[in-house]
Amino acid sequence: MSVALPVDAQQSSSLWGDAWWRLRRNRAALAGLIFLSVIVVVALLTPLLAPYAYEEQRLALGASGPSAAHWLGTDVLGRDMLTRIMYGGRVSLLVGFVATAVALLIGVLYGAVAGYVGGRVDAVMMRFVDILYALPFMIFIILLLVIFGQSMLLLFIAIGAVEWLTMARIVRGQVQNIRRQEFVEAAVSMGLGPWTIIRRHVIPNTLGPVIVYTTLTIPSVMLLEAFLSFLGLGVQPPQSSWGLLISYGVETMEEFPWLLVYPGLALTLTLFALNFLGDGLRDALDPQSASGRGGS
Amino acid sequence: MALLEVEGLTVSFRSRYGQVTAVDNVSFSVTEGETLAIVGESGSGKSVTCYSLLQLLPRPPASIEAGTALFNELDLLRLSERELRKVRGSEIAMVFQDPMTSLNPYLSIGSQLIEPLQLHHGCGRREALQKAVVALKEVGIDRPQTRISDYPHQLSGGMRQRVMIAMALIAEPRLLIADEPTTALDVTVQAQILQLLKRIQQQRQLTVIFISHDLAVVAEIADRVLVMHQGQVVEAGSCSEVLQRPQQQYTRDLLAAVPRGAKQKTATEVAPALLRVSQLSTWFAGSGGSFFGAEAAPNKAVDDVSFEVRRGEIVGLVGESGSGKSTTGRSVLQLLPQTAGLVEFDGVNLSQLKRYQMQQMRRRMQMIFQDPYASLNPRMTVYECLAEPLLHHGLAVRGSAMAQVLQLMDDVGLARAGIRKYPHEFSGGQRQRIAIGRAIATRPEFIVADEPVSALDVTIQSQILELLLALVEQHNLSMLFISHDLAVVRKLCDRVLVMRAGKLVESGAVEAVYANPQHPYTKTLLAALPQLAAVP
């Protein structure tokens, strides 16, 4: 191979650049990514795309099955299911992504610092996590909502504040392993400061488990939202979300199965796509994975 | 009479690049009661050959393509899993390289020892335990009755290897396969284990296949030698014949790579001191201290050590594992906090520096680590790895670092085409070149090299040593070279420091110390050094 050739193509060579290159070769992950992008675009454009307004009721219609006018049928109040699912998706995706992002950000940073610094700092930080674990989280969330009133923002914060605990523990365990490795010591001996080391050397090496756990967190956050909404603590009717639609659908499952099937399908497909994407990302971010670049 | 007769053994592996032949038409035989050494570099197929005899390779990806291996009239390669289980352990036993990972940490050594007896010989527990005690005694373990209930972590590396040997021998096999059994051990322990193997081999008239990359070790133990290279047998013959009158070029190269003799050019005596270490102590808090509780007695890893390193000089620091030599190196670089003493670098007291001053000072003093598999971030390409120190210390700007990185790669002998690759795509020797490139990137004046060649094959080792020597001369570097290998130190260093249990026991010019060691410990170390005597 000529010596000059690889150099040009290399300017952008980095973990993320290579990860993107590898991800594009993983068909399942790519399909998941495309599906999610479509879902997100639809959610963003829902007010323009939705066939009906979401509060529009036709009581006379009642719960009717799929038809030309209402592709996915209508619910007991005669509201168009497709519209409800589209609007519900906005809430579910927002809660799923934002609350998970909050959990991810806090959890990774907190866990990385605790694991990297170690010693008493670690002990104090992790005992704090233990204390939060021990708080019954429903009471915690209800307290928050009672004190500050109901709002979507608070819902994100409340859910994120619960979900980051496990993330912090996972990351801390990983970091404790990584910081004992020689390449971290090599970075110290190079004169790098602790933040640079955490950012460049430690966190990238914790990504595998973090991504897997993230793909598990998103669905559990969506279900948590449904649960809170069901109790009247989350989004309020006539607003809805996938989780809420499903839990209403369950009640009328025997008479009107489409009220359960379609929102369930929307949630399931999204979670499938997320899992494929998560697996793909985990492999793509690991240069040693089998699908990695061959001898170049 | 031949106990084992291998004919035309061919083993291949399925890989991403297609089918790769690891062992190519290998034939050899082992006579009852002899020791056959299989010598070669990593990747030469020496281990694969032996593992395939017991069908220990995972299949797939491995597959045995052709060949026979007659042992006792049985073709080992065609036995079913059930028949094999009768052979493994009771007829043919193995000793592995790493005694830590090949013992189960959750079982006492006693229960691991009696397992093969209960399995193969149908012994009762009590009888098996008695045999285990005898076996431990045979391999030279003190107080075997009490030791038998110990767990692996309570034993030292050498003891663990003794236990492994006892375990291999307890079912009285006829053939013992030892895969680099002393590579992970200190030189004095290695000498003891070699002696033990030799004694047991003679007492029991045992047949041994000894896999090694170290010709000096092989010279001590083998009757016959088989040299392997790239899956093929290059040369075979009696030990003295092969080592003294090698017929093939490859064997000669292998022999030439064994570190021997002294450094060609020694540094000038008059150079000023760059690093001055006086009464350095590094203690670790004893284990057992709890969050609030009082701390246990400290472990004095480095205790009152003083030395200096002059400009352009390579100083060897030798000692066994646990002697505190690595801790000394790390304390000098302030990677570990020193408990007491003074480390002066170019007249600056390092422990007085503020954190950011120290971070800047690190540009001038770097480290090379032992394990090139652990010292490189697996998620950074060669470019990122080499550019990081340059960018961090402002020696290059983003976008223009490429030329400097390529220059570095040339300096350490890495092909430029590999710049985008990740560490796992390189061999151990190439990885160590990356690590060296990273260390010299900032043009430091002083480098601590912590066993930089111990994890490498002998031929790669000699290449890396040459690279280090060239770099030291080219950049007028000073180096603290930490090693347990006295032959390497002699080849590379101007002066030598000998450490034991945290203390400096001897120091002086290399030739003076080697010719006339003063301290008994130095004498022991030198006596334990395996010698490749009278080789052309």
Nearest-Cα distance to chain B for A127, in Å, is 12
From chain A, the residues in CB contact with B431 under 8 A are: none
Report yes or no on B181 lying in a domain: no
Report yes or no on B171 lying in a domain: no
User: Measuring CA to CA, which residue among A30, A46, A27, A24 is closest to residue A266?
Assistant: A46
DSSP A80: B
Q: What is the mean pLDDT of residues A208-214?
A: 87
Nearest to A189 among B362, B379, B399 (CB): B362
Q: Which residue has the higher pLDDT, B125 or B385?
A: B385
Instruction: Name the CATH superfamily, with its identifier, for domain A46-284.
Output: MetI-like (1.10.3720.10)
Rounded Cα–Cα distance for residues B266 and B264 (Å):
7
Q: Is A190 on the interface with B (CB under 8 A)?
A: yes
Report yes or no on B80 lying in a domain: no
User: What residue spans of B305-398 are helical by DSSP H?
Assistant: 325-332, 355-361, 382-392
With CB atoms and an 8 Å threshold, state whether B389 touches A190.
yes
CATH assignment of the domain containing B381: 3.40.50.300
Report yes or no on B165 lying in a domain: no
Candidates B20, B290, B359, B377, partner chain A, best to mutate (most A CBs within 10 A): B377
From chain B, the residues in CB contact with A293 under 8 A are: 421
Q: How far is CA B154 from CA B148, B284, B424, in A?
A: 11, 20, 33
Candidates A7, A183, A282, A296, partner chain B, best to mutate (most B CBs within 10 A): A183
Q: Is A6 on the interface with B (CB under 8 A)?
A: yes
Report yes or no on B303 lying in a domain: yes
- Write out pLDDT tens, residues A22-39: 888 888 889 999 999 999
- Write out pLDDT tens, residues B65-110: 888 888 888 888 888 888 888 788 778 888 887 767 778 888 888 8
pLDDT of residue A292: 41
Q: What is the mean pLDDT of residues B445-474?
A: 88
Question: Which structural domain range is residue B420 located in?
Answer: 273-285+298-528
The distance from CA A120 to its chain's CA centroid, rounded to whole angstroms, is: 32
Confidence of residue B496 (pLDDT cuts 50, 70, 90): very high
Nearest-Cα distance to chain A for B260, in Å, is 30
Q: Is A148 on the interface with B (CB under 8 A)?
A: no
Rounded Cα–Cα distance for residues B533 and B536 (Å):
9
Q: Is A11 on the interface with B (CB under 8 A)?
A: yes
The distance from CA B233 to its chain's CA centroid, rounded to whole angstroms, is: 24
User: What residue spans of chain A are helical by DSSP H?
Assistant: 5-8, 15-24, 27-49, 81-94, 100-117, 119-134, 137-148, 152-179, 182-189, 194-197, 207-230, 242-251, 258-284
Residue ranges of the domains in chain A? 46-284
Report yes or no on B454 lying in a domain: yes
Report yes or no on B146 lying in a domain: no
Token code pair at residue A269: 């497909």
Taking the model in full, what pTM does it have? Answer: 0.79
Confidence of residue B294 (pLDDT cuts 50, 70, 90): low
User: Measuring CA to CA, which residue among B69, B70, B62, B67 is closest to residue B22?
Assistant: B62
pLDDT of residue B406: 92
- Write out pLDDT tens, residues B398-417: 778 888 999 999 988 888 88
The complex's ipTM works out to 0.75
With CB atoms and an 8 Å threshold, state whether A295 touches B17.
yes
Whether pLDDT at B533 is above 60: no
Whether pLDDT at A4 is above 50: no
With CB atoms and an 8 Å threshold, state whether B377 touches A295.
no
State the average pLDDT for chain A: 81
With CB atoms and an 8 Å threshold, state whether B291 touches A286.
no
Confidence of residue B255 (pLDDT cuts 50, 70, 90): confident
Domain count, chain B: 1
Nearest-Cα distance to chain A for B84, in Å, is 32
User: Measuring CA to CA, which residue among B505, B503, B497 is closest to residue B281?
Assistant: B503
From chain B, the residues in CB contact with A1 under 8 A are: 417
- Single-letter code of the amino acid located at B480: L
Whether pLDDT at B446 is above 90: yes
Report yes or no on B112 lying in a domain: no
State the average pLDDT for chain B: 84
